[in-house]
Chain A
């Protein structure tokens, strides 16, 4: 009985190691930040929910009139440039700057409107101070305006499997070839 339990433990440890699960992320990984998220389905998630996959991360808000649709279009353009197998391995995480208005229902509505693949794309919200920390770590500047809109700089960050920022893009109007190249490399 004892021996069986011992073998079970060994098997469990081996399985965990094979799945590459929760070792501490590298020191420069974004996943060092503890930022609790709630996704478009109302599920609680951690910032590293896509750990193990290359992930495009950006900040946006659902009611944004000008830039955010361009930002989403830029990510969709990158997505479309990938081979099927690369795309299947790529994840997208969009975190809202506007947790007050971007409820899970509003995020789900946005995801549906944009027609994104919710098996690979996550739209999420986080507490206001956590958004400030996440933006700071990503090098995103933003500011809430009196009319409820937000000024924000647009940055797409590419995270490797362990959450290290390996590429950035602020290119919105056309495909950022360099960014796609790096993503292909990470999705191999």
Chain B
């Protein structure tokens, strides 16, 4: 019993049926739909408590020990110490100030999982509480946009604070930004004029992707943010959750 009280509860992974996604970043101009294979996504983001257990087991991921290649100077800065959460980091808040490398290592080592891909994240984040795809619902859109208007220096809410969406997944919007496995695949041309010849010197293959559904600002903002990140970056509002493909072994 004592052991149970000190170790974190087993994280819940929610099954998501696959399907077709009309992404704001279509795979190609002539192909508007992305196939999303069935997968499972963590119901809530990884917390400070979860991440503390990870760094206790993995000294190479502690603040002060982690290699500079894998995390910048802000890594877990809000914790009181390398192995102490302290007053600024509630155990049930999502862990933030973590790099992509650290997030990946957590998912692999701690939960035998991986980060979700952008397509998987976008697919589940299209859902409201009642609809699989609420992206055309003006009220739902407005609610998300209202969150983006909240100043970024407010304390982060504890995980699980929001109603579950259609799939039973929580806090995809209105909580934190989240790393995805392929954050460095979101090649966004700043301007459609770049789609012509000059771009061919910047990008191999066809030109950079152009974003569709310009009215879907909330998701476009996520892409703009993710595509601006470097893998070692850490910020106050950037955390993660893990995913597993259906064919991938869990624990």
Contact = CB atoms under 8 A, between A and B. Distances in A.
A61 B69 CA distance: 25
B184 A135 contact: yes
Interface stretch (A100-108, A109-117, A139-147): A139-147
A12 interface: no
A118 B91 CA distance: 54
A151 B69 contact: no
Contacts of A141: 184-187, 227
A153 B202 contact: yes
Contacts of A139: 184, 230-231
The B contact surface, by secondary structure, is loop
Interface residues of B, number: 31
Contacts of A27: 67-69
A66 B67 contact: no
Interface string B194-208: 000000111111111
Nearest to A140: B184
B177 interface: no
Contacts of B205: 64-66, 145, 149-152
Contact of A66 (B100, B104, B186, B200): B200
A136 interface: yes
**Can you list the 6 inter-chain pairs with the closest CB atoms, starting with the nearest?**
A136-B231, A149-B205, A67-B204, A143-B185, A28-B68, A27-B68
Interface of B: 27-28, 31, 67-70, 100-101, 104, 181-187, 200-209, 227, 230-232
6 contacts: A26-B68, A32-B69, A132-B184, A136-B231, A137-B69, A137-B231
